[in-house]
Structure 1
Amino acid sequence: MTEPLPSLAEVHGACRSAGLGIAATELHGSLCGWLAGGGADGPGWLNRVLVDESVPEPGDALEQLRRASVTQLEDRSFAFQLLLPDADATLYERSAALFDWCRGFLGGFGLAGGQAPPLSEEGREALADLAKLAAATPQEGGDQEDEAALAEIEEFVRVAVLLLHGDCALGPRHRQRLN
C-alpha cells in the first residue's frame, strides 16, 4: 500500500504559508519531474526543484507530498497519482491544472535529467507529448466527450511519468546494482 498524497487544499495552504509563488498542482508536477529525471530525494528537495536556495524547509503537507510521490513512483503496482482538482471542479479548472502539472513536470525533469537524459524511444515520444500538453490552454465549456478525453489524457500523463521514471531513475539504479 502506498502513502496517499495530501489533499490539494493542504498542499495549496502549505505553498501559501511558505510564500511560494507556485500552484500546488505545478509543484507536484515539478517534484515528480525532478524524481522521474533521476533527481535526489532528500533534504533540500524543495530548493532544488524550485531552483531557489532561499525557500524555507517544507512543512508537513509538502513533506508528505514528497514522501507519497517517492513511494508511488517506486511502487510496482503502478499506484502513482497526479495531484489534481477533484471531479467536482469544472472541466476548465481540471484541464488547466493538468496543463500546469505538465509544465511543472517538464521543468523538474529538465533540471534533474539534464540535456541528454537516458530515454528510450517511447520515453522520447512521451516527453514530447507532455511538452505539447504543457503548451496547451484550456477551453471554456465542454461536454461528456471532453470529460472522457480529459480522463484519457490524465491516464496518459500518469503512465508517461512512470515510463520516464523507469528510463531515468529506475533503469540507471538497476544497472548500477548489476555492475
Structure 2
Amino acid sequence: MDDSLFSEFSSLLSQENVESSLPEQHGMLCGMLCRSAQTRLEQWLQLVEVDRAGEPPLSERLHQALEALYQLTIQQLNDDSYRFSLVLPADDAAALNQRVLALAEWCSGFLYGMGMSEGSPRQHWPAEVTELIQDFADIARLEPPQDQESDEEDEVAYAEFVEYVRIGVLFIYQSLQPGHGVQQGDTVH
C-alpha cells in the first residue's frame, strides 16, 4: 500500500473513531483468515464496529475501503507468487520508532484475529505454527526505540522482522488452510 493511500486510510479510520490503527486492523483480518479461510467480510466488520464502541454505523466510504482491503488480502494470501504484504507505513514516510510500533500493532492485531476466529483447535496445529505465534507475541511486545535517529543496522533489523512476519503469515495460512494459497511442498523464499 503506497504511503498516500496508507495515510488516507488511517485518517478515515480516525475520523470514524476506530480506536485501533490500520496495521492492527489488517493484522486482525489476516489472523482471522489464517484461522479460517471462510471468514466473511461481515465477521471482520463486526470487530471493527466493536472497536468503535457505540458510534453510528460505518460510513459507506469506510465500508468500501475495508471491503477493498479484505478482497486484496484474500487475493494476496492465495497468490502463489508470494505478493502478500503487511499494511505498514512506508520506510521513507515514517521514522523507525513509528514503524516498529506499527509492526508491533500489526502482530497484536494478528493474534487477536487468530483468537477471535474459529478454526482448527490449537492442539492440532503444527509445532512450527505454534512457534510462529509465540514469535508474533514477542514482536507485539516490542518497544520502539526512543531516539528518532536510526542507523543502517536498525533499518536492516526492522526489515528482517517485517519479512519474517510476512513469510510466517504465509506459512501459517498454508498450514492451517490446506487447499488455499501456496500448496504444501512449495518453497517459500
TM range (shorter): 0.7 to 0.9
Of the three residues 106, 121, 129, the one matched with 1:101 is 106
Structure 2: which 5+ runs fail to align?
182-189
Partner of 1:21: 19
Cα distance between partner residues in 1 of 2:46 and 2:131: 26
Cα distance between partner residues in 2 of 1:63 and 1:84: 18
Of the three residues 154, 171, 185, the one matched with 1:146 is 154
| TM-score normalised by L of structure 1 | 0.83
Cα distance between partner residues in 2 of 1:69 and 1:45: 15
State whether residues 85 and 166 of structure 2, in contact with CA within 8 Å, keep that contact through their aligned partners in structure 1: yes
User: CA offset at residue 121 of structure 1?
Assistant: 1.6
Aligned residue pairs: how many? 170
User: CA offset at residue 51 of structure 1?
Assistant: 7.2
Partner of 2:184: none
User: CA offset at residue 46 of structure 1?
Assistant: 2.9
| TM-score normalised by L of structure 2 | 0.79
State whether residues 78 and 180 of structure 2, in contact with CA within 8 Å, keep that contact through their aligned partners in structure 1: no
State whether residues 174 and 180 of structure 2, in contact with CA within 8 Å, keep that contact through their aligned partners in structure 1: no
* 1:59 equivalenced with 2:67 (yes/no): no
State whether residues 41 and 70 of structure 2, in contact with CA within 8 Å, keep that contact through their aligned partners in structure 1: no
Cα distance between partner residues in 1 of 2:63 and 2:49: 18
Of the three residues 76, 86, 102, the one matched with 1:82 is 86
Cα distance between partner residues in 2 of 1:173 and 1:65: 18
Deviates more, 1:81-90 or 1:41-50: 41-50
Structure 1: which 5+ runs fail to align?
175-179
Q: Percent identity?
A: 31
Question: 1:90-137: per-residue Cα shift (whole Å, max 9, x none)?
Answer: 111111110110000100011115693342121111111001001111
Partner of 2:187: none
Cα distance between partner residues in 1 of 2:78 and 2:119: 21
Of the three residues 137, 140, 160, the one matched with 1:134 is 140
Of the three residues 33, 36, 48, the one matched with 2:34 is 36
Cα distance between partner residues in 1 of 2:39 and 2:21: 21
